Structure formats: C-alpha cells, structure tokens
Structure 1
Amino acid sequence: MPFAQTENLNIAAFDRMPSPEEITAHVPLTDTAAKVVLEGRQTLQAILDRKDPRIFVVVGPCSIHDPVAGLDYARRLKKLADEVSDTLVLIMRVYFEKPRTSTGWKGYINDPHMDDSFRIDEGMEKARRFLLDVNEAGLPAGTEALDPIAPQYYGDLISWTAIGARTSESQTHREMASGLSTPVGFKNGTDGSLDAAVNGILSASHPHSFLGINAQGQSSVIRTRGNAYGHVVLRGGGGRPNYDTVSVSLAEKALTKAKLPANIVIDCSHANSWKNPEYQPLVMRDVAHQIREGNQTIVGLMIESNIEAGSQPIPEDLSQLRYGCSVTDACVDWSTTENMIRATRDILRDVLPKRSAA
C-alpha cells in the first residue's frame, strides 16, 4: 500500500530560479562600480569608527518600481552628494523588497511587472542591473535585507544594509547580517522598543553557521565571521517618535550597557514623522541641532524621498502611473530633499570637525 503524501501539500509549483552566478554573469560587476561600492563601505566604516567626522544620509525612494525614474533620481542625488561632500556622505536608498503587514505589492524583485505575475527571476536581474547603474553613476547604495537568499545575488553592489523593524528580532536575519560585507543598521521594533535592535547587533557581531545557498545556487552551510559594524536605527514606534534628546540618551545607555559602540542613526520617516512626509524636514532639523549642540553619538540619518511628493496607488493601467512618485510610503519631493540636505549641511559644517576631536 503506497504511503500518503505528507509534504508540499500547499505548493503549486517549483519554478527554477537562476543561480547567483548566472545572474551575475548577465550583469557583471564593473571596475567602476566596485570602486564606488568599496569606497562607500570604507567611508561608512570610518564614520562608525569616528575616523571620519561627517554624517551619512541614506536618502531615496521608499521603494524602486520604475528604474528610469530611479536612475533620474540617482543622477540628481549624485550632483547634490558632490556639493555637500565636505559635511555629509549621501547613500542612495535602493529598496527592492517590501515587508507587508498583510497583503500588497512586495517590491520590484518579487513582482517587477506589478501585475501579480511574480517573475522573481526577472526581478532579481533587473534589480541587479539597477544597482549597477546607480554605482556606475558614482553613488553608493543602501538597501533593506529581507529575503536571506537575495544578498547572494546583489550583495556585491551594496554599501549599507538595514535590518527592518519587523525582522531585527529574527534569528535568520541576525545570522545573515553576521555575514554581510556592509555595515548593518538594526531598526528598533515597531513597538518602539530597543531590545531587538541591540540584541540583533550583539548577535550579528558573532560568528554563525546557517543554511543558505552559494554562488552556484547549491544548498550550503554558510559560516560567518561576524559583523563588527552593526548600529542602531531609531525609527519611532508604538505611537510615538524616538528622535528626541531623551530617546537618543536612552539608546546611548542601552548600547553602552551592552558594551557596544554608541552609534545611532535617525530615520526621519516612519513613526518618527507619524508617516507624514511633511514632518521629515522638522525631524532632520531637530536632529541636526542636537548634533550642533553637542551630541556625540548620532552618525547618520535616513530620508524617504522621491522626485514627486506623496504616494500613489498602483493602477490597473500602469501607463497611468505618475513619474517619480512612490507606490509605497509617501515621500518628500526632490526640491524638499535638496533643501533638507543643504540646510543640514549649513547647520553642521563648522561643528563636525570639532566633534571628531571630542
């Protein structure tokens, strides 16, 4: 008598996914891009080590859905980055994976055609090509690591990585972070608590062994060395922001108690702006003045920004999409972004060198 089937009962299909090696062969790393990636990582490490007094700013769309508009944004950002480089280091926010509370568009990799066709094989190659273009334009890129396999496909093109509020507590993501080649920012939990982020940094700083894939797409036991450049990202939560001086002081104490470097990044969006992009400039100005008035631990900022302000639903007819406007969280527009970054540069330009010596 045959055994009853006991596995894959809810699986509709197994579609072959090209290996990281195959995708990379189609979109190879260039010398120009490699130089930008490595210089971006080294600069961020120097900031976290307090060898570089500048502040880094991860700025860009909530998510990438249109590579043409995304590259348009990148070229604008590169010009601005050069203008403020004496004070600020700009990293383009390039997010391809969107965690959903229930349902919704999961991002450019998962559904690049935005029609529920879920061509992840195409999305991964398109995402890698976009990252290559951004780095070729001279901008280092930052992203959120959501799928633990995805970094094998494009991690060589990333300079900074975030672990999101929903995944900072996840053992899988802590293990992954321990092997990433970039500095990693762990966000506080959606309830505003710091424990998950602090414990995530601690965990990721140690070696781990876990299941994953290698460049050939084979199941492998991945053994990591640990990541020495974990830091906390304050993004608010639990119905309140946490960029204020009291919240920053509490974060400093939590990191010191855990015997971790007191490196703090402030996310001007999400709960820190009550998900209202119009408040992001106010958050950024407040944080800049904290630094000007003597704060020694804030090393970075995050901004959700796009060419056009606000957000839009995904229409059935994709030709109706507004150019350069977010399809996920609402963003500030390009003009506001320029004003925010230039104002922050003006506030900090004469104080950061003294801060370095403190």
Structure 2
Amino acid sequence: MDLVENRAGSGGGGRCAAPSVDGELAVALAASGDRVVAEPLTPENLAARQERDAAVRPRPSVEELRDGGRFEVDEWRVPGPPGEPDVTLLSARPAGLGGALPLLYYMHGGGMIMGNAPSVLPQLLREWALPLGMAVISVEYRLAPRVRYPGPVEDCYAGFTWAAAHAADLGIDPDRLVIGGKSAGGGLAAALALLTRDRGGPTPIGQLLLCPMLDDRDATVSSRQMAGVDVWDRISNATAWRALLGDLYGTADVPPYAAPARATDLSGLPPAYIDVGSAETFRDEDVAYADAIWQAGGRAELHVWPGAFHGFDTFAPDAALSRDACEARTRWLRRLLARPASGAA
C-alpha cells in the first residue's frame, strides 16, 4: 500500500497528491499485515466483512474486564427508544473509589457497521478511568444496515438519558457527564450532543470527538486525496453511509442527527475536543466542524496530527505521535473535569 502519494483520480479530473505519512506510523502499518484489508469496503463484501469482524474483534466478558478485581464492571439492559429493543450498557470504574465519579459515556467505532461495546473498555479504563478517577459506560448500539438511522443514535440517546437519570445508583456525578467516541463513535457523540441540546436532555460538559465520522457527502479535498490510500477511504466511507442511511443516502434530506456536518446551528453545544490525522479521509470535515463551532461562538480544541492516518494510534499505540495524541486527550479531560459545571475546556 502506497502511503506517500495517491495516484487515484480526484473525482474532478487529474491527480490529487496525498500528504506524506509519519515514518514510524508507516512502518507499523506495513507490519500489521492481515490486520489491514487492502480492498475497500463495498456493498458486495459488506456482509462478509461484518462476519469477519464479529469473529476476530475481541469481546471481553464482564469477568475479564474486571481484571481480577481491579475494576468494578456491570452490564445493564436499559429501556431503548420507544417501541424498540432494550439497549445494553457496560458500566465500569476503578475498584475502591467511593463517591460520585465523573462519567465518560463512550460510543465505539467501526463505521456504524462493525465493532462492539466491550472491545473498547480495556483501553478506556487504562488511559482515562484509572488516572483521572472516572467511571466509563460503553454503549452497545445497533449496527447498520440491519438497523438504519435513526436507530443507532437513538440507542445512544436512550442509554445516556437512562444513565443520567440513574446517576445515584451508578455512583456517577450527573453534573460531570462527558460524551465521546472514535470514528463512527465520534460522529455518534457529536450527534448526541445535538440531540441533548435540542431535546433538553441531560447536558454533557464536554464532547470528546476522536477522528469523528461526520459527513455523508464524501466531497472534501481530503476524501479525494486519500482515496485508495487511507485505511478507511471514500469507497469504504460511502458504503458505510449508504448502509446507515438507506434511501436517504445521496439526498439533501439527511438530518444533522445522522451526519452532524449537516448541522446549520452549532451554538449551545458543550466544549469539544476534536482530533484527526493530516493523512486521513476525515481531516477536512473534522477541521470544518471545529471551525463551525468557533463561528457559532462555541469552544473547540482541534488537533491535526501531522502524518497520521485513520486510527493511527490503534495500529501504532507506542509511536511517538500516538503517545502525544493520548496525552493531549488526557490533558483536555483533566482540565474539563477540574472546571465548574458551567465552565469550558
């Protein structure tokens, strides 16, 4: 896989050179072998890829997540959206911590079509729950195309409102709720921030958006630059959006709760942390989202990691750039949690 220059057509005639990839990250990606599927995700191979993901992606049990008593972990089945199935939440916190803890309500990645709630918990507990004294809830939202929009985001909203309403039972502080996610989960977190604002739901104090999937239109420069180059390129992206949106795909009627980049009003949102790589498909839509928050008078901290491709910190967690990204996210969370409920990071 050539990670230095994209020779594919830009969609507008002619070439579109891709940004260079950080050398340490490129070595790690090349060494990942079968962990990267070179062919893009398409409607034809979607079912097979979903089956493969379900077979190989870790799904640790509650007992495994407890890690010998290091963490308190519970699984909850809570009421889903009206008329829909219950939603599964995995709630975890460092063992022995009393009092009401701040909560990170987290949505996993996977393009809206893959992934599971337990798989992300070990990293969340290690990187944020332990050092920051946080509780974490990971939500098992339904996946497309079996369940299309608005199913996944409504699952996330139902779980979030339940958690806020049962804060005392869960040992969490209802005034220190942070929503977050990565890739598709970052897009769901951004959508959840819009939903809670517009419905008058529980108010999060921050939104942690890691390389979020925000725009169904697939028309940015970075989308064209990284076609056939990024590990998640515009063909895979279009396949995932089509799976989520169904007949809405390709129309002007896509609501912002499906694709937050469609939102025309980003005022009144909680402070956002947005990070993305310079060499990934989502770069331009994520930068534009941060800019739109600023233009609406809001607060956003934006990091564009030079030479980083999509999910770089997953492929190379020990790389210098990955460590810097993790530390920057942790610093933002620490500042956010240290401020009064009405403050901003």
TM-score over 0.5 (shorter chain) = no
Structure 2 length normalisation: TM-score? 0.33
Structure 1 length normalisation: TM-score? 0.32
Q: Kindly name which structure, 1 or 2, has the bigger radius of gyration based on alpha carbons.
A: 1
